[in-house]
Chains A and B, each alone.
Chain A
Amino acid sequence: MVDMLVVFLLASAIACVIIGVSVYVVVPAIVRWQYGVQAPSAEFKAVDGSEGAGSSDLRYFILSYDCRQQDLKISAELPDAPHWQIGLFDGSMRLVDGGYVNHLTAMTRGNRFEVVVSKTPGSGEGSISCASSPNGLLIYRVLCPRSAVPLPTVEKVPA
């Protein structure tokens, strides 16, 4: 009887560990993988936002960034929209500290914006930090654009 109780308690504990690992490790990894499949490695891709987290009022462009060896310079014509933003997200889909810029804080030159994604953002004007996650997903969102949104370009620059 005692043995059965021990087996049951031990089995419950193992089951809880399996479920905990599934909830907090396995499923997020599957979701990350699913997004990784959608995002090309070195160029922006427009996505329609129909995968749960989107809205048809926004235009989304995603990119898998990797700044372990170099910085990335993102530039594009300014969109005709009341709000736009660029954010870096880590493998757990969380915003990277310092990895965010919007239409009010980005550096613009004429009718273009330039954002440098860098591990050492202090080195340049208009930089955002990927220090806590040198690779991950970059999302460029444009809210309620009044015309077609130009696709941003990506350029590798020395760190």
Chain B
Amino acid sequence: MTASSLLLYSALLSLLLVPIIVAWVAVFFWLRWEKIGRWQEAKRHEFRLRMQIARWIWFRYIHLDCQYWIAFVNFDKGPLKLVGQPPDALYWSFTYNKFTEVGPVINSNDIKLRPDGKYEILISTDGPEDAEANWLRLREGVGRGVIYFRTYEPRGNFPSQLPSVFQNGKQIIAEGSS
């Protein structure tokens, strides 16, 4: 086989390989969605593929006064409960995204703390029995998506505390710090 025909066949085969590789990565990412199990911080210069994808979709314009995190979850599998320590910041909030569609927000002005100083937030379609509980209303049919945690002007008290996420009584995202 001549060099030019080698190149031609390689080019043709690569056109077949590209969709196969892309499909494989997409399926792998989709299947791994709920198994990541930790918060992912927005980082401007990180080169990993998952961060690159997250930057296209959720972290487009990162600036100096804030920190952002996302956690990958499947909202269809039952109500989610977030339990964590409030960060020392001017403002902090939780919302959720279905791809680029943004959900409602619950923020530090509205979140009530438990006697032990922690917060507990329910993310569900149905409201909690306790009318005083922190509730982030979930739209119907969100499915796979991300919980979005943002803080503004963290007051130097790093590391910021990231909450645990529970679903159906099981911890699916570990508490952490960043």
Contact = CB atoms under 8 A, between A and B. Distances in A.
A7 B101 contact: no
B9 interface: yes
Contact of B10 (A14, A85, A93, A141): A14
Interface string A33-63: 0010000000000000111111111000000
B107 A14 contact: no
Contacts of A51: 100
A55 B93 contact: yes
B69 interface: no
Contact of B95 (A14, A27, A55, A94): A55
A82 interface: yes
A54 B102 contact: yes
A23 B18 CA distance: 12
Contact of A83 (B14, B65, B107, B148): B65
Contact of B9 (A7, A52, A55, A100): A7
State which size class the interface on A falls in: 35 or more
Contact of A49 (B58, B59, B64, B102): B102
Interface of A: 3, 6-8, 10-12, 14-16, 18-19, 23-24, 27-28, 31, 35, 49-57, 82-83, 85, 87, 89, 93-95, 100, 102, 137, 139, 141, 143-144
A53 B61 contact: yes
A19 B22 contact: yes
Given A57-B93, A95-B44, A50 B22 contact: no
Contacts of B104: 56
B3 to A, nearest CB: 10
A95 B63 contact: yes
Contacts of B22: 19
Interface residues of B, number: 45
B52 interface: yes
Given A11-B17, A95-B62, A144-B91, 9 more contacts: A10-B10, A15-B17, A24-B52, A50-B102, A53-B60, A55-B93, A87-B61, A102-B64, A143-B152
A7 B62 contact: no
A3 B1 contact: yes
Interface in B77-111: 90-91, 93, 95, 97, 99-102, 104-105, 107, 109
Contact of B152 (A83, A89, A100): A83
16 contacts: A8-B13, A11-B16, A12-B17, A14-B14, A49-B102, A50-B100, A52-B99, A53-B58, A53-B61, A54-B102, A55-B102, A56-B95, A56-B102, A83-B65, A93-B60, A102-B65
